[in-house]
Amino acid sequence: MARILKKEQWSDTIFSMLIEAKDVAKASKAGQFIILIPKEHGERVPLTIADSSKDEGWVQIVFQVVGKSTLELSRMNEGDELYSFVGPLGMPSEVEKFSGKVIMIGGGIGIAPIHPIAKTLKDLGNHVVSIIGARTADLLIMEDKMKEASTELIVATDDGSKGKKGFVNMVLEELLATEADNVDRIWAIGPPIMMKACTESAKKFNKPIIVSLNPIMVDGTGMCGACRVTVGGKTKFACVDGPEFDGALVDFDELMARQRQYKEQEQKALELYKAKEGLA
Amino acid sequence: MAERIKPAEKFKRDRVPMKEQDPKERVKNFNEVPYGYSLEEAIKEAQRCLQCKPAACVEGCPADVHIPQFIDKIIDEDIEAAFKEIKITNALPAVCGRVCPQEEQCEGNCVMNKKGKPIAIGRLERFVADWAREHGIVDEDIDESQKKGKKVAIVGSGPAGLACAADLAKLGYDVTVFEALHKPGGVLIYGIPEFRLPKSIVNYEVEQIKKMGVKIYTDYVIGYIKTVDELVEEYDAVFLANGAGAPSFLGIPGENLNGVYSASEFLTRSNLMRAFDFPEFDTPIQAGKRVVVIGGGNVAMDAVRTAKRLGAEEAIIVYRRSRAEMPARAEEIEHAEAEGIRFELLTNPIRVIGDENGNVKGLECVRMELGEPDESGRRRPVPIEGSNFVMDVDNVIVAIGQNANPIVARSATGVETNKWGYFVADEETGKTTHPKVWAGGDIVTGAATVILAVGAGKKAAKSIHETLSAQ
């Protein structure tokens, strides 16, 4: 169970893996996530499902190396087994056939989780306009897959090395300036600061926007409350009430503060691991 | 064989104390606090038992442990026989011997209470289970000819699920347990700290249950990967024992600041994820210089004692009623006191105060006094006006109870829940409103004790067996 079937490195820090997980693949729906533990001493790492195949029995995860756990995961190889892999978790995206267009925004590593939602929406017959962005061309992932999952695809990079120059929220705002009337729903997934900016843009045009939150999590089944977020003034657990919420109601500043909770410890663990493994 | 002493002698003898780690030392480690009895100590204590018929102690035991019989075998110095006597009804003796509230159950009913201290039944049970484990004594194999050819699914591998699984396996059912976490044991693994219940002991008893043929699938969240409705299709009976599992918060300002934990999160990080070994283990935990735990139950005691061991210079219990109303076991409170835990009783938190980075720096509280009794029969705490004060704290841990976790329930068509989301189940049988579904443990009663969950698991097993054998 939970064997790494395929591993790809997409940039210096971004990796994709197909994990053998028949039952998870069979049950998973767009918008849901998994939690894995790379090795026995590891922590529980939540990752959104980027793709899955019921027939072949795998789930795709895409992750960026930021700390010890993701570094250790990135150093595992095809054929290796993960210590633990559980899913699908969280509420699936509420997808339907809208009369107008839907806009799907994926920022950085957030392109991976936006992909299955875009794909599902397109399969339902929606007109899907996707905006995907990254800091620079090298960090842009899943362009082909997103093209397939969208009716129209717009690419943006912060430095202009590919597609439009600028942030995805600026592209969103331009789009809404001309097409707001035709847009029924927006999804945005990426770093909180990006989701916050997109939410501000959507608010200007009074358009509903769904965001997918990635707070620190432990069990992922509503038992511990580590992932609590404030939505519309109420405390919600991202793992069972979400991970998707109405962006207009999310307290992003609190989310960002809570994500920084273990920064010091994480740094220390990363340095110790690198020293132990002889990594630069 | 040790001698059997006369009743008059029995009354003269004191209860044999159990040696434990020095409080000054134990606050620096996670090793178990009590050392357990030696064989000599166990025999000496066993000799005090009056061997009452009928036995009041057994009536107080939700697991129906054959108490006088197993104690008698200790006097015979036949610990293997004592172990087998216990195992007839209880698959988790090393666990129950440690964490049962014996003072309210078996020992609470002990006739010796009238003349002194009750027989240390819990300590004797623990002794027998530990001895059997150390000597590699295992329960007899399941009689293959007893196989029923019927399948039972159990949701949750905590004490209720395990007890039910063991009893059904013994009766010849094909039992499969589904566990959401990556390790079986439920609250025994994620909730109860190592210093009170070593994980190696839980693992051992779980392994014994697996040896009886029980299959345990970890990393399997019923409600997501498979619904209860699907289990009902695939199995002859389903027992829902998924635990209460959704932490309550106080609803006071500042509760989402960094450094505020639910007790479940704090204990899960430390116990299941071994954060106390960070960075050897990857899960981090914070326990600053001053840690406040809000609540007065066993979970609060576990959390505050864990905080102390994680290095808090001051670990404080804040509880809104007085010591007399504290729901924690007396022994837990005494252990906490011996370890230097500070108790701020008749004190209620009203606001968590943060710094500019969103981290906890203080807790505003108000002093309380006890007024008229409320619906629980306990005197209601009433705030004393103008008594507000602020404590400087680095962490706040909320241990005020649980709500029903919705995941399992929302995938169980036809299984009625009450207005708080708990399953409605018959207390004696565990039967729910669905003919193929039973439920028991915290997801029926709300947060309770390990032994009540064991009892619920056993009752459900009995009822499932009766129902399936009548088919």
Q: In the 3-class helix/strand/coil scheme, how is chain A assigned residue by residue?
A: CCEEEEEEECCCCEEEEEEECHHHHHHCCCCCEEEEECCCCCCCEEEEEEEEECCCCEEEEEEECCCHHHHHHHCCCCCCECCEEEEEECCCCCCCCCCCEEEEEEEHHHHHHHHHHHHHHHHCCCEEEEEEEECCHHHCCCHHHHHHCCCEEEEEECCCCCCEECCHHHHHHHHHHHHHHHEEEEEEECCHHHHHHHHHHHHHCCCCEEEECCCCCCCCCCCCCCCEEEECCEEEEHHHHCCEEEHHHECHHHHHHHHCCCHHHHHHHHHHHHHHHCCC
Residues B260 and B384 grouped into a single domain: yes
Cross-chain Cβ contact B279/A218 below 8 Å: no
Whether A240 and A90 have beta carbons less than 8 Å apart is answered as: yes
What whole-number distance in Å separates Cα of residue B208 and Cα of residue B193? 21
Exposure letters B289-316 (e unless 16+ CB within 10 A, then b): ebbbbbbbbbbbbbbbbbbbbbebebbb
Cross-chain Cβ contact B407/A240 below 8 Å: yes
Residues B253 and B368 grouped into a single domain: yes
Residues B115 and B197 grouped into a single domain: no
Q: DSSP strand E in B117-156: where?
A: 151-155
Nearest to B357 among A43, A237, A257 (CB): A257
Q: Which two tokens stand for residue B393?
A: 């704290």
Interface predicted TM-score of the whole assembly (ipTM), two decimals: 0.94
Question: Tens of pLDDT along B35-69?
Answer: 999 999 999 999 999 999 999 999 999 999 999 99
Cross-chain Cβ contact B247/A225 below 8 Å: yes
Residues B238 and B171 grouped into a single domain: yes
Task: State the nearest Cα–Cα gap between A190 and chain B, in angstroms.
Answer: 22
Residues B129 and B154 grouped into a single domain: no
Q: Is residue B1 part of a domain?
A: no
Last residue of a domain, one of B358, B375, B401: B401
Cross-chain Cβ contact B278/A262 below 8 Å: no
Question: Tens of pLDDT along B108-156?
Answer: 999 999 888 999 999 999 999 999 999 998 876 666 677 888 999 999 9
Last residue of a domain, one of B99, B118, B135: B135
Question: Tens of pLDDT along A120-135?
Answer: 999 999 999 999 999 9
Helices B450-470 and B159-170: angle between axes, nearest 10 degrees: 40
Residues B256 and B332 grouped into a single domain: yes
Residues B32 and B156 grouped into a single domain: no
The low-confidence residues of chain B, meaning pLDDT below 50, are none
Q: Is residue B175 part of a domain?
A: yes
Residues B36 and B90 grouped into a single domain: yes
Q: Which residues of A are annotated as a binding site?
A: 62-64, 224, 227, 239
Cross-chain Cβ contact B221/A89 below 8 Å: yes
Interface of A with B (CB under 8 A): 23-24, 27, 32, 37, 41-44, 68-69, 83-89, 218-219, 221-226, 228-230, 235, 237, 240, 254, 257-258, 260-262, 265-266, 268-269, 272
What length is written for chain B? 471
Tell me what pLDDT residue B141 has: 61
Residues B87 and B21 grouped into a single domain: yes
Other C-beta atoms lying within 10 Å of the C-beta of residue B209: 23
Other C-beta atoms lying within 10 Å of the C-beta of residue A190: 27
Whether B243 and B158 have beta carbons less than 8 Å apart is answered as: yes
Q: Which two tokens stand for residue A230?
A: 């404030």
Cross-chain Cβ contact B225/A88 below 8 Å: yes
Q: Is residue B344 part of a domain?
A: yes
**Containing structural domain, residue B344:** 249-401
Tell me what pLDDT residue B142 has: 67
Contacts of A258 in chain B (CB under 8 A): 256, 258, 358
Contacts of A222 in chain B (CB under 8 A): 245-246, 405-407
What whole-number distance in Å separates Cα of residue B321 and Cα of residue B24? 28
Last residue of a domain, one of B401, B430, B447: B401
Residues B120 and B88 grouped into a single domain: yes
| Number of A–B residue contacts, CB under 8 Å | 123
The pTM (predicted TM-score) of the whole model is 0.94
Query: If you average pLDDT over residues A30-49, what whole number do you get?
Result: 96
Tell me what pLDDT residue B379 has: 83
All residues at 6 or more sequence positions from A215 whose CB lies less than 8 Å from its CB, including other chains? A226, A227, A228, A229, A238, A255, A258, A259
**Nearest to B368, CA basis, from B380, B352, B354, B360:** B380
Position with higher pLDDT, A73 vs B402: A73
SS3 label, residue B402: strand
Residue B206 belongs to domain with CATH number: 3.50.50.60
Q: Searching chain A, which residue's CA lies closest to the CA of residue B225?
A: A27
Q: Which two tokens stand for residue A145?
A: 């897959």
Tell me what pLDDT residue B354 has: 96
SS3 label, residue B154: strand
Residues B221 and B330 grouped into a single domain: no
Q: Which two tokens stand for residue B358?
A: 């969103």
Nearest to B256 among A44, A240, A258 (CB): A258
What length is written for chain A? 280
In total, how many domains does chain B have?
3
Tell me what pLDDT residue B426 has: 95
Cross-chain Cβ contact B247/A257 below 8 Å: no
Q: Searching chain B, which residue's CA lies closest to the CA of residue A83?
A: B182
Query: If you average pLDDT over residues A253-267, what whole number do you get?
Result: 93
Task: State the nearest Cα–Cα gap between A232 and chain B, in angstroms.
Answer: 14
Q: Searching chain B, which residue's CA lies closest to the CA of residue A265?
A: B284
Cross-chain Cβ contact B218/A219 below 8 Å: no
Domains of chain A and CATH, by start: 3-89 (2.40.30.10), 93-212 (3.40.50.80), 213-280 (no CATH)
Residues B397 and B453 grouped into a single domain: no
What whole-number distance in Å separates Cα of residue B426 and Cα of residue A2? 39
What whole-number distance in Å separates Cα of residue B392 and Cα of residue B59? 48
Q: Is residue B2 part of a domain?
A: no
Q: Is B374 exposed, middle or buried (0-12, 13-18, 19+ CB in 10 A)?
A: exposed
Contacts of B278 in chain A (CB under 8 A): 265, 269
Q: Which two tokens stand for residue B384?
A: 């004393």
SS3 label, residue B373: strand
